[in-house]
Amino acid sequence: MANNDRVCVGAIAGAFGVKGEVRLKSFCSTPADIAAYGPLWTEDGGRQFTVKLTRPVTGGLGARLSGVATKEEGDALKGVTLWADRDRLPALPDDEFYHADLIGLDVFDTGGAALGKVRAIQNFGASDILEIYAPGRKSTLMLPFTRAVVPTVDLKARRIVADPPEELE
């Protein structure tokens, strides 16, 4: 299965307890939904897990993953990202996007000039920010992902039209 057929929904933050329970970081808007999209896969597709949530824990969710029975096995998975098959995820409203769908899109200004490609989506607490990379630019361009600054996202054409504030250009 091609990697764009899966979306990253969380990561394993390490073992929790001694019987193979792990701490999950959920990237879902409703954190507990991570258990509903299974089975979940490692990024390379080499392993899959069914997820059973056990309890809320500091900084995430306690969970049991199929095939993980010891603290050592849980710790060995620390940092592994978890991916769900895209067709298991809910459809989004027109003005919402999965981050995985935005990364790599070409970004143009309202006059059609290329600004670069989306390298990542950051969130420092207030709202999402598109990190735009362009060859020859000394630093990445950080654009607030708001309708005013990013009026058009066209997934079919794989392009974004942005109207960056003058101080950001």
pLDDT at residue number 68:
94
Does residue 136 come out as left (phi exceeding 0), alpha (psi in the -120 to 50 range) or beta?
A: left
Residues 103-119 have pLDDT tens digits of: 889 999 988 999 999 99
Domain boundaries, the chain: 3-88, 99-164
pLDDT at residue number 1:
42
The two three-digit tokens of residue 126, written as one number: 């207030």
Is the predicted pLDDT of residue 6 greater than 50, yes or no?
yes
CATH 3.40.30.10 fits 99-164, yes or no: no
Residues 27-54 have pLDDT tens digits of: 887 889 999 998 999 989 999 999 999 9
Mean predicted lDDT score pLDDT of the chain:
87
Is the predicted pLDDT of residue 2 greater than 50, yes or no?
no
> Do residues 15 and 80 touch, judged by C-beta distance below 8 A?
no
For residues 98 and 101, give the distance between their C-alpha atoms in angstroms, rounded to a whole number: 5
DSSP letters spanning 53-87? EEEEETTEEEEEETT--SHHHHHHTTT-EEEEEGG
What is the CATH architecture assignment of 3-88? Answer: Beta Barrel (2.40)
> pTM of the full predicted structure?
0.69
Taking 3-state DSSP, the helix, strand and coil percentages for the chain, each rounded to the nearest 5, stand at 15, 40, 45
Closest C-alpha to 63, from 126, 127, 116, 10? 10
Confidence band, pLDDT 50/70/90 cuts, at residue 167: low
Residues 113-138 have pLDDT tens digits of: 999 999 988 877 778 899 999 888 88
Closest C-alpha to 84, from 120, 36, 21? 36
